[in-house]
C-alpha cells in the first residue's frame, strides 16, 4: 500500500481546501494511506494533545492506538494564516522534516501555494529520497491585461525555478502548462489534469427544488465568491437580461459574498450559502 504525505490546507476555506479534502478522500477509498500535513492553530494542537493525554491509560491498554490516532494528520505551527498564504513559525521547517522522517512516505504531494516552505520542499525531499509532486493552484486567466495580470505573472515567475525541481507538476489547463514550460519547467514533468465533477454525485435526477422555487427555471452558480470567479459579471448580466420565470441560485461562500449580496439582492436571486 502506497503511503502519501499530503501537504495542503484545511482552513481558511478556499478552492485548495476543497481540492485537498476531495482528492485525499478519493485516494483513501482506493486503498492509499494518507498523512495530511497542514498548518494548524497552536490552540487546536494543544487541545488534541490534552484530549489524548486524558485518555492515555485507555489508549495504552489498546496497544499503542495513541500513535495510530495521531499519525494520519500532522500540524505545523505558524505565525499568520490567510486564504492566500501562510507565514510559518521559525520551527515549522524542522517540524516538517521530522514529520517526513517519521512517516517515511513513498510520495510527497504539495498543493501550492501554501507558504515560504514551498521552496524548501525539493531540497528536503531530495535529501530524504522521496519523489515530490505538486498541484499548482494560483488563479490563472490568460485574458487578463491589467494589474492583476502582473501579479499573476509574478507568482508564476517566482515559483517556476522551484517547480522545475519537482518530479511532477499538475496544472489544470494546457495554457498553464505552456506558461510554466516557457519559464523553465520541463514539459515531461508537467501533467494537465482539468477540473471535473463526480458524475455519481452530480447527475440529473428527482429534486424537490422545482417545488421550492414554484416551478421557475433555475440557473445555478456553485463555487467560491471570489474575484477570479467573475461572479459580479454574472450578476450584472442577470440584471441586464432579467429573464422571466427564472431564478439564479448562488451556492457558495467567500470574501465577496456580503458585498455582492448587498448590491445584487432580489426575489430572482437566491443566496443559498455554503453547501458541504
- Residue 158: what pLDDT? 94
The pLDDT confidence band at residue 145, using thresholds 50, 70 and 90, is very low
- Residue 42: what pLDDT? 56
Lowest mean pLDDT among 63-67, 162-166, 227-231: 63-67
- Residue that wins the pLDDT comparison between 163 and 202: 163
| Residue whose C-alpha is closest to residue 194's, from 140, 247, 237 | 140
Torsion of CA 235, 241, 244, 245, to 10 degrees: -30
- Residue 146: what pLDDT? 43
Bridge partner list, 273: 251
**Per-residue pLDDT at 46 exceeds 60:** no
- Residue 88: what pLDDT? 93
- Residue 48: what pLDDT? 47
pTM of the model: 0.77
Q: Tell me: the pLDDT tens digits for 83-107?
A: 778 999 999 999 999 999 999 999 9
Average pLDDT score, the chain: 84
Its CATH architecture, for the domain 3-137, is: 3-Layer(aba) Sandwich (3.40)
**Per-residue pLDDT at 248 exceeds 50:** yes
The pLDDT confidence band at residue 114, using thresholds 50, 70 and 90, is confident
Q: Tell me: the pLDDT tens digits for 185-214?
A: 999 999 999 988 888 877 777 777 778 888
- Residue that wins the pLDDT comparison between 173 and 204: 173
What is the edge-to-edge ordering of all strands in the sheet holding 246-251? 217-222, 246-251, 269-273
The pLDDT confidence band at residue 50, using thresholds 50, 70 and 90, is very low
Characterise 252 by phi-psi region: left (phi > 0), alpha (psi -120 to 50), beta (else). left
Looking at the chain, the whole-number percentage of residues with pLDDT higher than 70 is: 84
**Per-residue pLDDT at 236 exceeds 80:** yes
Residue 159, CB half-sphere, CA atoms under 13 Å: how many? Answer: 27
Amino acid at each position: 500500500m502506497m503511503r502519501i504525505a499530503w501537504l495542503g490546507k484545511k482552513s481558511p476555506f478556499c478552492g485548495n481546501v476543497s481540492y485537498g479534502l476531495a482528492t485525499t478522500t478519493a485516494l483513501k477509498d482506493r486503498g492509499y494511506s494518507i498523512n495530511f500535513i497542514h498548518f494548524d492553530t497552536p490552540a487546536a494542537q494543544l487541545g488534541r494533545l490534552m484530549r489524548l493525554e486524558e485518555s492515555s491509560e485507555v489508549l495504552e491498554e489498546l496497544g499503542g492506538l495513541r500513535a495510530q490516532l495521531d499519525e494520519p494528520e500532522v500540524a505545523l505551527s505558524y505565525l499568520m494564516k490567510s486564504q492566500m498564504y501562510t507565514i510559518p513559525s521559525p520551527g515549522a521547517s524542522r517540524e516538517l522534516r521530522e514529520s517526513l522522517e517519521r512517516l517515511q512516505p513513498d510520495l510527497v504531494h504539495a498543493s501550492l501555494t501554501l507558504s515560504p516552505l514551498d521552496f524548501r520542499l525539493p531540497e528536503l525531499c531530495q535529501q530524504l529520497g522521496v519523489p515530490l509532486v505538486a498541484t499548482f493552484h494560483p488563479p490563472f486567466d490568460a485574458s487578463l491585461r491589467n494589474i492583476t495580470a502582473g501579479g499573476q505573472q509574478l507568482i508564476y515567475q517566482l515559483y517556476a525555478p522551484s517547480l522545475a525541481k519537482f518530479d511532477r507538476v499538475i496544472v489544470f489547463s494546457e495554457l498553464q502548462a505552456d506558461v510554466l514550460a516557457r519559464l523553465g519547467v520541463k514539459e515531461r514533468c508537467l501533467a494537465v489534469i482539468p477540473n471535473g465533477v463526480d458524475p455519481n454525485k452530480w447527475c440529473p435526477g428527482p429534486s424537490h427544488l422545482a417545488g421550492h422555487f414554484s416551478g421557475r427555471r433555475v440557473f445555478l452558480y456553485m463555487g467560491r465568491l471570489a474575484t477570479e470567479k467573475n461572479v459580479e459579471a454574472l450578476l450584472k448580466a442577470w440584471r441586464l437580461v432579467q429573464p422571466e420565470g427564472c431564478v439564479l441560485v448562488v451556492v457558495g461562500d467567500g470574501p465577496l459574498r456580503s458585498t455582492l449580496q448587498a448590491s445584487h439582492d432580489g426575489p430572482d436571486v437566491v443566496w443559498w450559502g455554503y453547501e458541504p
